[in-house]
């Protein structure tokens, strides 16, 4: 956010919807000028009511709204980039690690659901069978998903981890089995986190441009604070960062 009269306040609210609401109410009690909510798991009706009360920008939640702005990564497209890349390398058994939908349904879904739906649609467009394990976007969740894939009786030749942190768990599970990437299995992540670019990991992943998301969100909030009332919904197009964890199927 540019220099100006505003002071940023950041509150981690966790993944529990009740805790998220409590954090928002605490901010309202402090008479903040506006709010940016990242991936809220609250009902759309509650967000609409909140948007009537205060300038509001919602990040990483698809579906838009009438009384608040949104900024999302085009995760449907990003997942398609991964599948298309792996198919171009000759892979057909491509598995996907995901995270529970948190009770939300289309069109008002969070990133994990959009990524999974994008993966399913891309797989079907290539005439391939989707294979999804819903664990969690954590290292342990990725580890668990990889064990499920490897023990399924028809192990994949490639895995699309729905988040970079889950991809780290996949790597650990493969190491446990004496398998290597990309010789035995190609691996892609999502988010292009700092660790993805570390030399020893060098993870092929989707870059959702977090800096652009943050800048856009701040700009929209300032516009709201300065009087704009009509809703604006921005979609940021991601890119695929090719590194060392994907290779042509032997």
Compute the 3-state secondary structure of the chain and give helix, strand, coil in percent, each to the nearest 5.
Answer: 40, 20, 45
Answer whether the bond into residue 178 is a cis peptide, omega within 30°: no
Q: Which of 224, 244, 241, 240 is nearest to 232 (CA)?
A: 224
pLDDT of residue 6: 84
Tell me the pLDDT of the chain (250 aa) as tens digits.
456 688 888 888 887 888 999 999 999 999 999 999 999 999 999 999 999 999 999 999 999 999 999 999 999 999 999 999 999 999 999 999 999 998 899 999 999 999 999 999 999 999 999 999 999 999 999 999 999 999 998 999 999 999 999 999 999 999 999 999 999 999 999 999 999 999 889 999 999 999 999 999 999 999 999 999 999 999 999 999 999 999 999 8
Return the CATH superfamily for domain 17-73+209-238.
Response regulator (3.40.50.2300)
Sheet containing 131-134: give its strands across.
131-134, 94-98, 158-161, 186-190, 204-207, 239-241
Give residue limits of the domains in the chain: 17-73+209-238, 75-207
pLDDT of residue 3: 62
Q: Which of 250, 238, 249, 244 is nearest to 82 (CA)?
A: 238
Within 8 A by CB and 6+ apart from 114, the residues are: 62, 72, 75, 76, 79
**Which residue, chain included where needed, has tokens 């959009």?**
114
User: How big is the CA angle at 89 (ends 84 and 92), to the nearest 5 degrees?
Assistant: 70
What is the third-level CATH fold of 75-207?
A: Rossmann fold (3.40.50)
């Amino acid at each position: 956010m540019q220099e100006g009269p505003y002071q940023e306040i950041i509150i981690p609210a966790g993944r529990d919807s009740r805790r998220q609401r409590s954090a928002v109410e605490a901010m309202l009690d402090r008479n903040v000028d506006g709010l940016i909510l990242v991936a809220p798991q609250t009902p759309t009706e509650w967000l609409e009511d909140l948007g009537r009360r205060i300038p509001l920008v919602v990040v990483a939640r698809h579906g838009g709204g009438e009384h608040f702005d949104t900024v999302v990564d085009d995760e449907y497209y990003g997942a398609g980039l991964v599948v298309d890349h792996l198919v171009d390398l000759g892979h057909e058994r491509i598995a996907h690690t995901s995270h529970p939908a948190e009770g939300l349904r289309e069109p008002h879904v969070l990133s994990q659901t959009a990524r999974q739906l994008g993966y399913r649609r891309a797989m079907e467009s290539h005439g391939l069978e989707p294979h999804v394990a819903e664990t969690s976007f954590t290292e342990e969740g990725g580890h668990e998903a990889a064990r499920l894939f490897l023990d399924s009786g028809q192990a994949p030749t490639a895995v699309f981890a729905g988040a970079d942190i889950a991809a780290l768990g996949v790597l650990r599970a493969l190491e446990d089995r004496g398998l290597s990437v990309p010789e035995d299995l190609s691996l892609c992540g999502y988010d292009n986190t700092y660790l993805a670019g570390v030399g020893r990991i060098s993870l092929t992943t989707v870059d959702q441009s977090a800096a652009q998301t943050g800048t856009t969100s701040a700009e929209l909030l300032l516009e709201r604070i300065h009087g704009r009332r009509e809703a604006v919904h921005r979609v940021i197009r991601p890119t695929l960062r090719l590194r060392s964890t994907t290779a042509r199927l032997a």
